[in-house]
Amino acid sequence: MLDEKQTVKVSKFLSLVLRHNPQAVGVTLDEAGWVGVDELLAACAAHGRRISRADLDHVVATNNKRRFAYSLDGRRIRASQGHSVPVELGLPATAPPDVLYHGTAAAAWPLIRQEGLRPMSRQDVHLSAAPGTALRVGARHGRPVVLVVDAAGMAAAGHAFRVSDNGVWLTDAVPPRWLRQAPQGGPGRR
Q: What is the pLDDT of residue 165?
A: 87
Q: What is the pLDDT of residue 43?
A: 98
User: What are 95-125's pLDDT values in tens digits?
Assistant: 999 999 999 999 999 999 999 999 988 889 9
Q: Answer whether 25's CB lies under 8 Å from 43's CB.
A: yes
Q: What is the pLDDT of residue 185?
A: 53
Residue 151, phi-psi category: left (phi > 0), alpha (psi -120 to 50), beta (remainder): alpha
Lowest mean pLDDT among 35-39, 41-45, 104-108, 183-187: 183-187
User: What are 115-161's pLDDT values in tens digits?
Assistant: 999 998 888 999 999 999 999 999 988 999 999 999 999 999 999 99
Q: What is the pLDDT of residue 187?
A: 55
Return the higher-pLDDT residue of 188 and 1. 1
> What band does 64 get if pLDDT is binned at 50, 70 and 90?
confident
Domains of the chain and any CATH numbers: 4-79 (1.10.10.970), 99-181 (3.20.170.30)
User: What are 2-32's pLDDT values in tens digits?
Assistant: 999 999 999 999 999 999 999 999 999 999 9
Q: What is the pLDDT of residue 186?
A: 54
Q: What is the pLDDT of residue 70?
A: 96
pTM of the model: 0.82
Cα(177)–Cα(58) distance, integer angstroms? 43
DSSP string spanning 45-87?
A: HHTT----HHHHHHHHHH-TT--EEE-TTSSEEEESS--SS--
> What band does 190 get if pLDDT is binned at 50, 70 and 90?
very low
Return the higher-pLDDT residue of 184 and 164. 164
Q: What is the pLDDT of residue 1?
A: 80
Cα(171)–Cα(80) distance, integer angstroms? 15
